[in-house]
Amino acid sequence: MRGKKGQLIGGLVLVTLGSLFILDRLIILEIYISWPLILVAVGVALFLIHPHSLASWIVGGIGVVLFIVNFAIAFFPEVEAWSDLVWPTILVIIGVLLLYRYYQTPSPKLPAQPPPKQEDAGTKPEPPKASAES
């Protein structure tokens, strides 16, 4: 993953990581809650490289789900049981994305075949007519 693609992913990950550390130091958002945003940044980078990539949606989606769960657990401790729903939710999201992709990609079409010739049994096909110029 060298070149421009690696620069894009590396840049987004470093900007996200640096922003998370700044927010942690300013006591706005703690790093143990917000680390899944790195997965979201990688998913966004993959999407920018290949807009039709399923991997970008999966990585970004997992990051979003983990961030929401961590955020809910940190700020609403009574819903800590939500953490038991993380992996089943991820499996459902992946399944929905696969089904979406299945129905969005066109099915391969068979090559068009010419219609069958209909000839009468008693008639012969006419020979090509000669042009008047000769």
Q: Is residue 110 part of a domain?
A: no
* Rounded average pLDDT over 25-48: 85
| DSSP E strand boundaries for 24-85 | none
Kindly indicate the confidence band of residue 76, based on its pLDDT and cuts at 50, 70 and 90. Answer: confident
Q: Is residue 74 part of a domain?
A: yes
pLDDT at position 81 = 64
pLDDT at position 38 = 86
pLDDT at position 128 = 63
How many domains, in total, are found in the chain?
A: 1
Q: Is residue 124 part of a domain?
A: no
Q: Is residue 114 part of a domain?
A: no
Which range of residues forms the domain containing residue 14?
4-104
Q: Is residue 55 part of a domain?
A: yes
12-32 confidence digits (pLDDT tens):
888 888 888 898 888 887 888
Q: Is residue 121 part of a domain?
A: no
Q: Is residue 117 part of a domain?
A: no
| End-to-end C-alpha distance for the chain, whole angstroms | 67
Q: Is residue 30 part of a domain?
A: yes
Name the pTM for this structure: 0.55
